[in-house]
Copies of this chain bind each other. A is one copy, B any other.
Amino acid sequence: MTKRRYYTITELTAEFGITTRTLRFYEDEKLLNPERQARKRLYTPRDRTRLKLILRGKRLGFSLAEVREIIEMYDHAPGERGQLEKLQGRIAERQAELEQKQKDILETLEELNQVNSSVQQRLNELK
């Protein structure tokens, strides 16, 4: 017996903690492309992978439009030199953005640590 081929809409909502509305919305936005069995949606492993990419992008603060661009990079067609070079440019931009976010995170974590220390000290003083 081979791997499951399809996921139902409720399986995905349960696995990722999202609503059916969200899944249908992403489909309207052409981010997902579930097949149909009569009227029911059947999500493929590819849909599930894309969904993970979408949710990860959202966690990082990307809009759906940005998520779409990033996913399109993954799916890029072979293309000619000019296209490929443009693609590299866009990749570099996203990488720079992500590196900025890394810095932002490190700063924030550091500050939260400092707050935590001062709170801890206050707690120690309280007996």
In the complex, residue of chain B having the shortest beta-carbon distance to the beta carbon of A100: B59
Residues on the B chain within 8 Å of A11, using CB: none
Q: Mark A53-97, 1 if CB is under 8 A from B, else 0.
A: 000111111100000001001101011110011011001001100
Instruction: Decide: B104 and A56 in contact? CB cutoff 8 A.
Output: yes
Q: What are 24 A-B pairs at a CB distance below 8 A?
A: A56-B104, A59-B101, A59-B104, A60-B60, A60-B104, A60-B105, A70-B108, A73-B115, A74-B111, A76-B115, A80-B126, A81-B123, A84-B126, A87-B115, A87-B119, A88-B120, A88-B123, A91-B112, A95-B109, A95-B112, A98-B108, A99-B109, A101-B105, A105-B105
Residues on the B chain within 8 Å of A109, using CB: 95, 98-99
In the complex, residue of chain B having the shortest beta-carbon distance to the beta carbon of A78: B122
In the complex, residue of chain B having the shortest beta-carbon distance to the beta carbon of A126: B81
Residues on the B chain within 8 Å of A29, using CB: none
Instruction: Decide: A59 and B56 in contact? CB cutoff 8 A.
Output: no
- Tell me whether A116 is interfacial, beta carbon within 8 Å: yes
